[in-house]
Structures are given as structure tokens and as C-alpha cells.
């Protein structure tokens, strides 16, 4: 067998179809002496028996190590500049009370973006001062809750919201801690960044001069810096997600520091904090070669140091908000294979090529990213190894949509069949978090493995859960 013309350019025909590319998997994952996939010595077949499939399997040691690594790397790089960095784990990637506690124990703070996420943080006992609240359209109830709780920062997204926060702070008699989210005109995604404008989207206050000649960003800074019920901590930018080019982060940092400098000149305020957001890319497939927290931190520290020196600015306290890079690689999804279907795909020059569809017992309800973003993943046969040849395959779910794709292109062993287990790595971020009950599927559980012991941290939904809100029952 050889490479299929149906495979994308980045996908090579595997030398060994059983091999795991380490960077795509949690540190605790390997194959045991028989070839079965295991996590910290626990066999996936045993996990499947105990917890069922589909199943999110989260290597807690790996998750914690990644969280701690971000904190350590950024603290080290920025130690001399601003005494270290506040790392906010972006809870939107994956949040439950256990995760909220882990990040707190590892010295991180927690970024939430709704009343629901705040409720999880509260239930986990995260100190309010360690929380931030994001969102482009926070409700009055969400803002009031954040102020009353005393969250460390409300990241304000618009002038409308700023006024609302000021009124609510005055009404509750509590000064609101505020960061202003700006759009620095840098937008980055996956393998590219656009350094001109990304004005045409819903988030943040623009730094471009408006019709009055002043930008929304400076108007907001002027308002907030002088308002008695607002404690303006600083500025925030998040330039995108799954980013590999460090240049995008550097450019955003330079632009944000320039705004801090302008604010200093115009309003005589030196804002003490700058949040540079998240967005660090991870390896989903062979196409992805992510950087390390150390490299990113070192480069950013250098840019911040030089730019502040050029602008005559004291280095602000830096914070970052990684989500995907902590949660994503810590987890894989375990599915069971149902049916197979072989098709012949015309190549447009008179020939055809085979493609195999392998259906699993989950799909777009537990991983919406392929449907939402055309995201690519990989998969391996997990319950055994095989000597079989590889065939270009498409792993699909069980939903009533032809777009219900889990892994668009992967070489799987030809002998994968009914009852086999497939594992899809790097599903820790924005998979469970985006899961749905489409077709009334019950959402999968999350099992965490720590020091060789597995425990449920989120249970599987039941049919009773599905019917619980149906008032006709």
C-alpha cells in the first residue's frame, strides 16, 4: 500500500500505523507490552469497560504540568522586568470544579466569560480576587455578580459596557476592577497573522481614530481612569487562537504598549497592567509544530523590555490567558467503532481512489470543531496493534449530518472493525466545552487519571438528564 492521492499534502503515509506521535498525546500515554494504548499504565479497554464510550480521558498529571510550565516559563522570563506574570487559565477551553481547583493549586488564576463559568469557579472555591470576567455582551446580572463577588478584574469590551459597569459599581458601592479589551489591529490564526486591521468583528475597543479623531480605546481609557467607581488596572488584547507565529504576539504587545504610552501622555495615568491574552497553538496533526512556553515567554519578554525602554514606560505587570495549550493536549477521546463503508472517489482525470468511512459512537456532539472550523485531528487504533496496511480513512460520527466528521483524513489500519476502540488525541480544549445533545445523545463523561488512578470528574449524561427540562414528561 502507498500514499493516497486523497490525503492532504501534510499527511504522510505511515511507516508504522501503530506509532504515536508523542507531541499529540498526553505525557502519560503509551502502548503497553501487548500494544494496547494505556494512560499512566491504565489500559483503554479497562477504562472503556468501566466508564463506557465515548469517553474523554484526561491525564491530570499532564494537565497540571502544562499549567505549571506556563507559570514557570513566564515568571522566569519576566521576573526582572515586572516580578513575574499572572497566568489566567482560560476556562472556556474546558472547565469543571476539579479543573478550577487544579489551576488554582498550580498557582494560576482563572478567566471566566459568563455567569455560568463564574458559578463553577465559585463552586470550586476559587478566591474571587483570582478571577476575571470576560465577554462582549455581559448581562447586567453578570456584571453585578462580578462586582459583588469582588472579582480581580472585569475585562470591559465596549464603551456601552463601561458605562454600565460604572453605574452598577456606584449602585453597589463597590469600585469595579477593570481592564479594557482593545483590538490592536493584529489578528492571528493558526499558520498566519494579519498585521493590518481586524476591525470588522465584535470584540473589543478599537485603537483606530474614529470620526471624532479619537479612538474608542482612548475614549474609554480617559473615562475609566477618572471615574471614581472604576479602578482601571490596565489594557487587554487577545489576537486569536491556535497561533504558531510568535511575531503576532510580539506585534500586539508593541501596539498595546504604544497605547499605554499614549494614555500616559494624554491622561497622565500610568496603567499598571497589560494582559496579552491566550492563543498558543498545539499539535493536532503532523501539520502542527507548536512552540514551547519558554520560547514564547523569552521572545515576548524581550519585546516588552525593548519597547518599554523605547517609549520610556515602566514595564507593566504582564498577564496571559492560555486555554488550549494547557487543556488541549492533556486529553484524548475514546470511541468505539461501529460500521465501515468503502467509497470510490473520482480523481477528476478518469481514475478513482478508495476512501474508507469509519463510524464511531459519538461525533459532532462531543467534538464540534471539525464542523465549526474545519479543524483537523488524527486517530489511532487503541485497543491493539496490527500488522495490517493503512488505508486513507475518514472517521465520522453517528449524527444525522453528512458533515458530522471527527477526523477528516487519517491513515487507519485496514483491519479496524466493529468493536475496536479508536483514540483521538488533543481533544481537551473546546470539545467537551462545545458539546451538545444533538440527536438527543447524552454528553460523554470526563475521567481524570492521576498517578495511575482513574476517577470521574464529570459523569455521563443520562436519558433522565435529557428529559429533565421537558415539561411534557
- The yes or no reply on residue 229 touching ligand PLP (CB under 6 A) is no
The C-alpha atoms of residue 190 and residue 183 are separated, in whole angstroms, by: 18
Residues 423 and 334: beta-carbon distance below 8 Å: yes
- The yes or no reply on residue 182 touching ligand PLP (CB under 6 A) is no
Nearer to ligand PLP, 280 or 332 (CB): 280
- The yes or no reply on residue 184 touching ligand PLP (CB under 6 A) is no
- The yes or no reply on residue 248 touching ligand PLP (CB under 6 A) is no
Chain length of the chain: 473
Total binding residues toward ligand PLP, as defined by CB under 6 A: 16
The C-alpha atoms of residue 447 and residue 459 are separated, in whole angstroms, by: 8
How are beta strands 176-183 and 205-206 bridged, if at all? parallel
* Binding region for ligand PLP (CB under 6 A) out of 49-57, 67-75, 100-108, 320-328: 320-328
* Binding region for ligand PLP (CB under 6 A) out of 20-28, 254-262, 271-279, 442-450: 271-279
CB atoms closer than 10 angstroms to residue 294: 15
Nearer to ligand PLP, 201 or 402 (CB): 201
- The yes or no reply on residue 54 touching ligand PLP (CB under 6 A) is no
* Binding region for ligand PLP (CB under 6 A) out of 117-125, 157-165, 322-330, 441-449: 322-330
Could you tell me where the DSSP H helices lie in 395-459?
A: none
With CB under 6 A as the contact rule, the residue among 323, 363, 444, 445 that binds ligand PLP is 323
* Shortest distance in whole angstroms from residue 113 CB to ligand PLP: 7
The C-alpha atoms of residue 13 and residue 278 are separated, in whole angstroms, by: 34
Nearer to ligand PLP, 239 or 308 (CB): 239
- Is the torsion defined by CA of 209, 205, 242, 443 positive or negative? negative
Strands (E) across 217-328 are located at 230-236, 273-275, 317-320
With CB under 6 A as the contact rule, the residue among 324, 394, 398, 450 that binds ligand PLP is 324
User: Over the range 340-358, which residues count as b (16 or more CB within 10 Å of their CB) and which as e?
Assistant: beeeeeeeeeeeeeebbeb
Nearer to ligand PLP, 201 or 464 (CB): 201
Beta-bridge mates of residue 392: 411
Q: Map residues 78-97 to x or -, x wherever contact with ligand PLP holds by CB under 6 A.
A: ------------x-xx----
* DSSP secondary structure string for all residues of 93-123: SS--HHHHHHHHHTT-EEEE-SHHHHHHHHH
* Shortest distance in whole angstroms from residue 359 CB to ligand PLP: 29
Catalytic pick among 82, 113, 308, 400: 400
With CB under 6 A as the contact rule, the residue among 322, 362, 363, 370 that binds ligand PLP is 322
With CB under 6 A as the contact rule, the residue among 26, 248, 277, 397 that binds ligand PLP is 277
- The yes or no reply on residue 278 touching ligand PLP (CB under 6 A) is yes
The C-alpha atoms of residue 372 and residue 379 are separated, in whole angstroms, by: 19
- Is the torsion defined by CA of 193, 237, 107, 271 positive or negative? positive
Residues 231 and 175: beta-carbon distance below 8 Å: yes
Report the candidate in 194, 122, 114, 206 with the shortest Cα–Cα distance to residue 159: 206
- The yes or no reply on residue 366 touching ligand PLP (CB under 6 A) is no
- The yes or no reply on residue 290 touching ligand PLP (CB under 6 A) is no
The C-alpha atoms of residue 469 and residue 465 are separated, in whole angstroms, by: 8
* Shortest distance in whole angstroms from residue 85 CB to ligand PLP: 14
- The yes or no reply on residue 321 touching ligand PLP (CB under 6 A) is yes
The secondary element (H helix, E strand) that includes residue 55 is strand 55-59
With CB under 6 A as the contact rule, the residue among 28, 279, 293, 329 that binds ligand PLP is 279
* Shortest distance in whole angstroms from residue 367 CB to ligand PLP: 15
Nearer to ligand PLP, 373 or 440 (CB): 373
Q: Map residues 114-153 to x or -, x wherever contact with ligand PLP holds by CB under 6 A.
A: --------------------x-------------------
* Shortest distance in whole angstroms from residue 255 CB to ligand PLP: 16
* Binding region for ligand PLP (CB under 6 A) out of 34-42, 205-213, 317-325, 339-347: 317-325
- The yes or no reply on residue 428 touching ligand PLP (CB under 6 A) is no
Nearer to ligand PLP, 276 or 457 (CB): 276
- Is the torsion defined by CA of 261, 267, 272, 274 positive or negative? negative
Give one word for 5, left, alpha or beta, with left for phi > 0 and alpha for psi -120 to 50: alpha
The C-alpha atoms of residue 175 and residue 145 are separated, in whole angstroms, by: 13
Nearer to ligand PLP, 102 or 280 (CB): 280
Q: Does the active-site annotation cover 400?
A: yes
- Coarse DSSP helix, strand, coil percentages of the chain, rounded to the nearest 5 percent: 35, 25, 40
Catalytic residues: 400
Binding site for ligand PLP (CB under 6 A): 90, 92-93, 134, 238, 241, 277-280, 321-325, 429
Amino acid at each position: 500500500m502507498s500514499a493516497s492521492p486523497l490525503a492532504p499534502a501534510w499527511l504522510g503515509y505511515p511507516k508504522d500505523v501503530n506509532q504515536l506521535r508523542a507531541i499529540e498525546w498526553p505525557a502519560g500515554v503509551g502502548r503497553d507490552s501487548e500494544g494496547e494504548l494505556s494512560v499512566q499504565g491504565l489500559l483503554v479497554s479497562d477504562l472503556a469497560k468501566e466508564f463506557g464510550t465515548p469517553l474523554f480521558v484526561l491525564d491530570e498529571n499532564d494537565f497540571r504540568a502544562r499549567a505549571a510550565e506556563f507559570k514557570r516559563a513566564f515568571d522566569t522570563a519576566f521576573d526582572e522586568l515586572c516580578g513575574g506574570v499572572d497566568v489566567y487559565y482560560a476556562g472556556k477551553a474546558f472547565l469543571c470544579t476539579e479543573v478550577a481547583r487544579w489551576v488554582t493549586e498550580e498557582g494560576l488564576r482563572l478567566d471566566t466569560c459568563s455567569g455560568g463559568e463564574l458559578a463553577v469557579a465559585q463552586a470550586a472555591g476559587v478566591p474571587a480576587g483570582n478571577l476575571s470576567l470576560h465577554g462582549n455582551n455581559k448581562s447586567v446580572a453578570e456584571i453585578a455578580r462580578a462586582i459583588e463577588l469582588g472579582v480581580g478584574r472585569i475585562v470591559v469590551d465596549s464603551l456601552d459596557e463601561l458605562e454600565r459597569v460604572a453605574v452598577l459599581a456606584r449602585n453597589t458601592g463597590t469600585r469595579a476592577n477593570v481592564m479594557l479589551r482593545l483590538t490592536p489591529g493584529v489578528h492571528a490564526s493558526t499558520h498566519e497573522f494579519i498585521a493590518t486591521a481586524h476591525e470588522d468583528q465584535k470584540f473589543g475597543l478599537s485603537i483606530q481614530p474614529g470620526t471624532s479623531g479619537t479612538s474608542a480605546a482612548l475614549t474609554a481609557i480617559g473615562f475609566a481612569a477618572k471615574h471614581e467607581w472604576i479602578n482601571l488596572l490596565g489594557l487587554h488584547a487577545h489576537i486569536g487562537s491556535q497561533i504558531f507565529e510568535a511575531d503576532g504576539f510580539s506585534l500586539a504587545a508593541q501596539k498595546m504598549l504604544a497605547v499605554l504610552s499614549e494614555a500616559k501622555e494624554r491622561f497622565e495615568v500610568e496603567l499598571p497592567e497589560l494582559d496579552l491574552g491566550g492563543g498558543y497553538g498545539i499539535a493536532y496533526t503532523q501539520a502542527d509544530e507548536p512552540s514551547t512556553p519558554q520560547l514564547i515567554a523569552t521572545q515576548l519578554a524581550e519585546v516588552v523590555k525593548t519597547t518599554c525602554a523605547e517609549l520610556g514606560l515602566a514595564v507593566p505587570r504582564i498577564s496571559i490567558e492560555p486555554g488550549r495549550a494547557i487543556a488541549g493536549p492533556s486529553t484524548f477521546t475514546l470511541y468505539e467503532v461501529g460500521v465501515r463503508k468503502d467509497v470510490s472517489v473520482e480523481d477528476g482525470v478518469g481514475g478513482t481512489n478508495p476512501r474508507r468511512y469509519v463510524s464511531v459512537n459519538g461525533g459532532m456532539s462531543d467534538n464540534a470543531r471539525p464542523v465549526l472550523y474545519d479543524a483537523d485531528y488524527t486517530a489511532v487504533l487503541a485497543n491493539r496493534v496490527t500488522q495490517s496496511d493503512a488505508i486513507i480513512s475518514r472517521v465520522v460520527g453517528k449524527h444525522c449530518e453528512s458533515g458530522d466528521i471527527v477526523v477528516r483524513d487519517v491513515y487507519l489500519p485496514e483491519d479496524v472493525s466493529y468493536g475496536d476502540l479508536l483514540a483521538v488525541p488533543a481533544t481537551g480544549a473546546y470539545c467537551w466545552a462545545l458539546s451538545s445533545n444533538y440527536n438527543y445523545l447524552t454528553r460523554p463523561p470526563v475521567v481524570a487519571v492521576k498517578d495511575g488512578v482513574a476517577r470521574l470528574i464529570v459523569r455521563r449524561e443520562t436519558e433522565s438528564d435529557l428529559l429533565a427540562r421537558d415539561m411534557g414528561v
